[in-house]
Structure 1
Amino acid sequence: MPYNLKSQLIKEFSHGFFLRRGGSSEGEFESLNCDLKSSDHESKVLENRALVAKTLEIESRNLITLKQVHSSKVINIERPVPSNSIEGDAMVTSKEGICLGILTADCAPILLAENKNRIVGIIHAGWRGALDSVLENTVRAMTELGAEKEQIAAVIGPCIQRENYEVGPEFLDRFLSKDPKYRKHFTIDNNMQIWFDLPALILERLTVIGIKTTENLAKCTFALSNDFFSHRRNQKNNLGDCGRMISTIKI
C-alpha cells in the first residue's frame, strides 16, 4: 500500500506527498516509482500509478503529470490529458476530479491551495525553477482562475536539504549575479565547501510574491533512503538512474 505525507494547511483538499514505499518496482526503483521516463519497466510504473490513483480514489486517467523540463512554464489543466504529453513544470486547475501530479527525487514538490474559491496548483521546483519564475507564474495562474493571493497556502514537500546539497563556486556565483541577497541561502564551511538551502530560497520567494501561509515539511530526500528516491544520492554512489516520487493534489 502506498504511503504519503500530508499537511494540515491544505487539509480541505485531497493531497499527498507519496513516499517511495508501497509499489511494485524493484532494484533502484524500489518500489513506488511513478516516472514513465525512467528506465524502469513501464508496466511496473503504470501499476504504481494505478496504486496511487486507487489510494486517491480516482481513475488513473485523471492523474495528470507533465513532461518536466526544469522550466517556469505553468499549464492550466481543464480536462484529462495523456501524462507526459505536455512540457511544463507546474499546473493549476479549478476543475473537480482532476488530480495534479509532480515527480521529484531531490527537487521540491510544492502544493498550493486556495480554499475560498477552490483552486489548486502544483510545482516542480529545482534550483532553476526557483531562481527563475515558476513560483510567480503559478501564483499568477491561480489568481487568473479566480484565486485570492492572500488566501493561498503553499506546502513544500520532501526535497534535498542544505546539509546534503553541496555546490560549487560557479553555482553560488550564478545566484549572486542575479541578486547578492541570495548569499544568505548558502553556507560555506571551514573546508570551503558550499552548501545550498533550496527550501529557504523557495520560502523567501513565496513570501516576496505575497504568499503568507507556508509550510516546509523539512524531509531530506538524500538522507532518508528508505523513504525517498534521490538523484544526487544515486549519482554519488554510482548507482545510475533512480525512481521518482509523486506528489498530488486535487479539488
Structure 2
Amino acid sequence: MTPITHPLLDLDGIKHGFFTREGGVSEGIYEGLNCGVGSKDDPERVARNRQLVAEWFGGSGDDLCGCYQIHSADAVVADGGWRGERPEGDAVVTRTPNVIATVLTADCAPILFADPEAHVVATAHAGWKGALGGIIAATVDKMVALSARPSNIRAVVGPCISQASYEVGADYQARFAAEAPGSERFFAAGSSDGKRQFDLPGFVLWRLEQAGVTQAAWSGDDTRTDEGRFYSNRRAFLNGEPDFGRLIGAIALTE
C-alpha cells in the first residue's frame, strides 16, 4: 500500500498521502482499498480498509477525522480523534499531533494543506459545487484562525477527474461566470453546442491562488480513466454500475 505523495508536502513532522485502490480487502466493484463509509460495500471490509490507512500513519481507526461530506463551504476543527463520528462539512483542520485528517473522493478534488511553520494541516473535499461555493477559502480561513498564514500554506490537489473526462452542460459555464468572474477559461468546447469540458483541478488551483495559497500543485492523476488505481463516480455511471468505492486522502502532524 503505497499512497501518492507530493514534494510540496514532504515536510518534517508531517505525513501525508492520497491512497489508491492498492492494498485493501474489498471485493467486486469495490475491489481494493474502499474507504467509503457511505458506500454499499461490506461495512466490515470498509472498516478494515480504514484501519489500514490509520496504521500507515501509526495510528488507529479512532484517530481518523473525516466529515459527512455535503458539498458545502463548512470547515471543521478537530482537536482529537473522532472515534467514528462524522460531523457534516467538507474540510477538516487540525493542529493536534496524531489526528489524521481525511477526505473521501471519487472524482471530486481532494486537497491536502499544511503550514509547516504554524504546524496546522487540513483536508478539503472540492467538487465543482464546493469549489465554487467557497470551501477552499473557508479552509484557509479556519487554518488562519489557528495561526497559519496563507503565504506559508502549501496545498496539493490529489487524483480527481480531469478536463478531458469531465463533460458538463453549458449552463455550468454561465453559472460559474456569474459567481466567479474570470472562471470562463476553465471551460472548453464539449461534444455538442450544449456541452462543455470543465477543468476542475485547474479551477481548484485558481481558487487556492485567490485564497492566498501560491504554493500549490495538482498530482496530475485522472480518476475516471485509470480504473486500476482509482474509483470514479462518473465511470461507474457510464458503465451502469450500481455504486462505487471512495478514495481516501489524509494528512497528520506527527510531532
Range class of TM-score, shorter chain: over 0.9
User: Superposed, which structure 2 residues align to 1:111-190 within 5 Å?
Assistant: 111-189=112-190
- Residue matched to 2:66: 65
User: SS in structure 1 opposite 2:182?
Assistant: helix
User: Superposed, which structure 2 residues align to 1:5-24 within 5 Å?
Assistant: 5-12=4-11, 13-24=14-25
Aligned partners of 2:64 and 2:83 also within 8 Å: no
1:189 positional shift:
4.6
Distance 1:185 1:59, change over 3 A: same
Aligned partners of 1:164 and 1:195 also within 8 Å: yes
Q: How many residues align?
A: 250
Q: Distance in 1 between matches of 2:217 and 2:164?
A: 19
1:82 positional shift:
3.3
1:177 positional shift:
2.1
- Residue matched to 2:3: 4
- Residue matched to 2:228: 226
Question: CA-to-partner distance for each residue in 1:100-150, whole Å, 9 max, x for gaps?
Answer: 010000000000000011110110000011001110010010010011221
Q: Distance in 1 between matches of 2:140 and 2:187?
A: 26
- Residue matched to 1:216: 218
Aligned partners of 1:18 and 1:247 also within 8 Å: yes
- Residue matched to 1:41: 42
1:84 positional shift:
4.7
Which moved further from structure 2: 203-212 or 185-194? 185-194
Q: Distance in 2 between matches of 1:241 and 1:190?
A: 26
- Residue matched to 2:52: 51
- Residue matched to 1:29: 30
Q: Distance in 2 between matches of 1:234 and 1:52?
A: 24
Aligned partners of 1:66 and 1:83 also within 8 Å: no
Any gaps of 5 or more consecutive residues in structure 1?
none
1:180 positional shift:
4.1
User: SS in structure 2 opposite 1:48?
Assistant: helix
Aligned partners of 2:157 and 2:217 also within 8 Å: yes
The one-letter amino acid paired with 2:242 is G
- Residue matched to 1:243: 245
Runs of 4+ deviating beyond 4 Å = none
The one-letter amino acid paired with 1:55 is W
User: SS in structure 1 opposite 2:144?
Assistant: helix
Q: Distance in 2 between matches of 1:189 and 1:100?
A: 36
TM-score (norm. length: structure 2): 0.95
TM-score (norm. length: structure 1): 0.96
The one-letter amino acid paired with 2:203 is L
Distance 1:84 1:66, change over 3 A: farther
- Residue matched to 1:204: 206
